[in-house]
Structure 1
Amino acid sequence: MPSQIVDAAGSGPSGQAGLLVLDGTGLRVEDVVSLADGTTRPEPGTDAMKRVAESWDAARQIAATGRVYGRSTGVGANRNEDVPTEAAAEHGLRLLRSHAGAIGEELPARQVRALLAVRANQLLAGGAGLRPTVVTALCEALESGAYPVVNEFGSVGTGDIAALAQVGLALAGEHPWRGAGFSGDGDAAGEPQGGVGAPEPQPLDNNDALAFISSNALTLAQSALALHELRGLLEATQVVGALSLLAIDGAHEAYAAPVHAARPHRGSIEVARRMRELIGAADRPAPPLGRIQDPYGFRCLPQIHGPAHDAADALEEVVAIEINAAAENPLIAPADMAAYHHGGFYQAQLALALDHFRLALTQVARLSTSRLSTLNEPAYTRLRPFLADREPASSGVMILEYAAGAALGDLRAFSAPASLGHAVLSRGVEEQASFASLAARQTLRACGAYRLVVGCELVAAVRALRQRELRPDPDLPVGRALELALSVLDEDHADRPLTDDVTSAAALLDRFTDIWRGE
């Protein structure tokens, strides 16, 4: 069942915030986003905390009577080296210190907060076997706005161990925090940064260290944030496509219900249905009186947008499973009093789903540039080339094709399949890598490029509709979208820089998402 959201006043980074009960089973992508943004604040569920306590007790008993990876042994190629009982407590901190080697730029607060939310919920699934106060500390940090310093690189898709070791050291009081009430990285003696909102240091030992870092919480957090933004942009793109369709007097036949019933792919059926609602088309529209068949940018929209929606659904299913999974190695099973060593941390499903999603989105963005080119053609708009004004040889929106093409180039580069990567690590013991971590970073980076491509189309579509003095029924979704765009985008059609126009159009896409959803 979904995590329970309770209306309650909060004191998180966004001020007043609803309460989200984490239970280790029902966290959703939108919940991760709301926790990252501070619009909800977390509270661990009572039953879930009981699972954590049972797992913690069982893990210590199991480790005291047998060999358990990472608790009574080393890790990686050191898995066969036993940790003496007298060194067990210090072993956990040494493991965190040695693995907290992430490199590169510091990650933004939003990504780190999403990481904390995912890890707290995963721990509440009850398979990690670490002390319950760690969950409480993570939730306290989310509520206060404090977040640890986490650097960008350190994972190859078999566990975000470097990033999570940094978080673990912060929880232990040995690594800097950021956020409200924090002003630096520590004193001259190397003490960790402190301030208002940092949770009390946790006494992490050999029973906590590996249990905490054996997760892909950062990769999943970044995947959730990227999916949420790009799904919204995908929906907004169809609204922009509908405006472009009106600007060229496009046919409705391509969205006819019988066309898609005859080839019943779920995503295409839904996109065609939504297009009919956006523009007020009949389920069985009459053929146009003019030209036969529009360019692919219009005629193939359901066949290209549909697979992207399907890919988003597939990715969301994978992310939802993983953010509610007890995937730590070893898995502590209190009912069996057993520690199961396994490879559940390996993120093949996530890497492949992310790669698939980006490839599908690139097709959608490329279709947007095709419609932009059509909008520049007098044969389709009955306007001057490039939607120019009446001055001789005016260039109008000509440059938008170049700008959109450049942004599309970045998007195409970000869409290279990360899952083709390979690594052999830890003296050959870990001889495969999913590179889901790279796939998640690439998907996040795709957001900005994709947004700009569609922003270019929106600027041109609104200019064409203005010049043709076309106004769809304001009660239709596409009519509401146009009125919104007209209120934001500059009506000056003289040759001038269009940078600000595209920036405004790109920002407007978030409101177009609400129109697509009927909100």
Structure 2
Amino acid sequence: MVTLNGQTLTFAEVRRVLFDGEKVTYTDESMKKVKESRKAVEKIVDEERIVYGITTGFGKFSDVYIGKDDVEALQLNLIRSHACGIGEPFPEVVSRAMVLLRANALLKGYSGVRPVVIERLLDLVNANIHPVIPQQGSLGASGDLAPLSHLALVIIGEGEVFYKGERVPAIDALTKEGIFPITLTAKEGLALINGTQAMTAMGVVAYVEAEKLAHQSEVIASMTIEGLRGIIDAFDEDIHLARGYKEQVDVAERIRTYLADSQLTTKQGEIRVQDAYSIRCIPQVHGATWQTLNYVKEKLEIEMNAATDNPLIFDNGEKVLSGGNFHGQPIAFAMDFLAIAMAELANISERRIERLVNPQLNDLPPFLSPEPGLQSGAMIMQYAAASLVSENKTLAHPASVDSIPSSANQEDHVSMGTIGSRHAYQVITNVRRVLAIEAICAMQAAECRGTEKMAQVTNQFFTKGRELVPTISKDRVFSKDIEAMNDWLKAGSFQFTKKTTNIHS
């Protein structure tokens, strides 16, 4: 059971909820704060004070006063009118993350919602009811208004959900689980949608997959080093300590560990003096990606525990302040950085693929073909990798440098962070397939060299990989092999330490 308090949610806990199906509850102390902030909202309504989002309209309508008799209609109209999401829905795991993160944000006690709102959100998580939330339509400021409105529809019994493998009306799933829809009252609709949970949820899922891929890329690159009889001296610790980046040092150490008992690596001058950059500079390039991943993780962990709606209630209602915590710029930058950093893993991987298949760059069979000329072997696999890499260059164009005014120019600068998070996820999806291609080619090259000479780590990878992708003994539809390897990488969990090395899949 993961216990939320609005302050301390970690990546480890999020993983357990998203991928292990762990249930969620809240602390009594956090709910006490929620109740206190709710009293402040009710007092504002009773006293008919003018406070944005509680007794006023929204956006450009912030100067329109709303009487106490209309506060429920105001919140309902807000959710229905703002549910303008378009396009394909977010993956279920992202929807689940959105619900989790929104509940955690409301538990901080700055939003003025009733406890029942948070309880309903946690009911969705615990019953595995995931709102159908279209991916497009958010500007990433004023919160992820359109996506989160589709989330909010579900707790009032409207909209659609994913439930037990089917897409069904929300009310059907709620009824089957004995969950009663609620009627939103003052400020609650605004509190549900005025946040960054769409971009953050997409970012969290993207980061989890990116971190796994970054580790996998190092094992696959190690196997490529063996296939190309790479020079191990380039990974000597002294080189990397001399520069000083911890992540670079760590990558070099892991590569040395993976290849410690390999008979296929060489020393400088033994076959050649230096390898090409795509081999020699693995620690520098992959290390720089790890630097970015660490930055992204830090920002996401802050945002997972942030109050991002407006207005916020402080000092038991003595201060109700309008601000701009819904602006997604910090996550927008992080997502753009993530896309760029991961795109580079594919860039350098594709160059290693080229070195594995190009007969002008190695002494392996041309294109790793069993019968060069009659059979093309891995020739077009490199084409496919190059295509994905080129597509990533377009997707890596930063979304955060764009803005467009909205709400009659009241909201005149926006982050486009949700676009950035979606693009980062698309990049990661492409990176995985490029690495799948490198893995297939590296396995074939290592087989040509002699698998009995491989390191223990890479040989374990090779052995498992061959269960999925047979040796290239003749041309076949390699698309199926790429997808098989891709699926294994997506599902696999690779854990490495200096003393022991295990591959779990």
Q: Which amino acid aligns with 1:404?
A: A
Q: Confirm or deny: 8 A CA contact 2:33 2:108 kept in the other structure.
A: yes
Give 1:30 shift: 4.2
1:125 is the counterpart of 2:105 = no
Cross-structure match for 2:258: 278
Of the candidates 63, 77, 99, which is equivalent to residue 116 of structure 1? Answer: 99
Which moved further from structure 2: 29-38 or 349-358?
29-38
Alignment of 1:53-452 (within 5 A): 53-65=35-47, 66-158=49-141, 159-180=143-164, 184-185=168-169, 195-197=175-177, 199-280=179-260, 287-335=268-316, 337-378=318-359, 381-390=362-371, 392-452=373-433
Structure 2 counterpart of 1:173, which letter? G
**CA–CA distance in structure 1, aligned partners of residues 88 and 488 of structure 2:** 29
Please give the alpha-carbon distance, in whole angstroms, between the structure 1 residues aligned to 2:139 and 2:255: 40
Deviations 1:199-242 (A, max 9, x none): 31112112311122111111111111111111111110111000
Q: CA deviation at 1:513?
A: 4.6
Q: Partners of 2:88 and 2:339 in 1: how far apart?
A: 24
Which amino acid is the alignment partner of residue 273 of structure 1? E
TM-score when normalising by structure 2: 0.92
Deviates more, 1:103-112 or 1:426-435: 103-112
- Paired residues of 2:235 and 2:283 also in contact (CA < 8 A): yes
Counterpart secondary structure, 2:451: coil
Shift of 1:509: 2.4
Partner SS, residue 3 of structure 2: strand
Asked whether the 8 Å contact 2:444–2:471 carries over to 1, the reply is yes
Please state how far the C-alpha of 1:134 moved relative to its aligned partner: 1.0
Normalised by the size of structure 1, how large is the TM-score?
0.89
Distance 2:132 2:492 in 1: 35
Q: CA deviation at 1:514?
A: 1.1
CA contact (8 A) 2:57 2:66 kept: yes
Q: Residue 22 of structure 1 aligns with which residue?
A: 4
Q: Give the whole-Å Cα distance in 1 for the aligned partners of 2:18 and 2:219.
A: 28
Report what 1:12 is aligned to.
Answer: none
Contact (CA 8 Å) 1:381, 1:464: kept in 2 or not? no
| More off after superposition, 114-123 vs 32-41 | 32-41
Identify if the C-alpha distance between structure 1 residues 509 and 326 changes in structure 2 by more than 3 Å, giving closer, same or farther: same
> 3-state SS of the aligned residue for 1:432?
coil
Structure 1's 485 and 184: CA in aligned 2 closer, same or farther, altered over 3 A? Answer: closer
Which structure 1 residue ranges, 5 or more long, are not aligned? 1-18
Q: Deviations over 1:345-371 (max 9, x none)?
A: 111111111111111111111100111
Write the distance in 2 (CA, Å) between the matches of 1:479 and 1:88.
65
**Distance in 1 separating the partners of 2:24 and 2:69:** 37
Q: State the alpha-carbon separation in 2 of the partners of residues 176 and 242 from structure 1.
A: 46
Local SS of the residue matching 1:35: helix
Distance 1:182 1:242 in 2: 42
- What is the CA distance between 1:60 and its match in structure 2? 2.3
| Contact 1:96–1:209 under 8 Å retained in 2 | yes
| Contact 1:377 1:385 survives alignment (8 Å) | yes
Distance (whole Å) between structure 2 residues aligned to residue 453 and residue 183 of structure 1: 32
**Distance across 2 between alignment mates of 1:498 and 1:299:** 29
Residue 384 of structure 1 aligns with an amino acid whose one-letter code is P
Matched-pair contact (CA < 8 Å) for 1:182–1:196 = no
**Closer, same or farther: CA 400–63 of 1 in aligned 2, 3 Å:** same
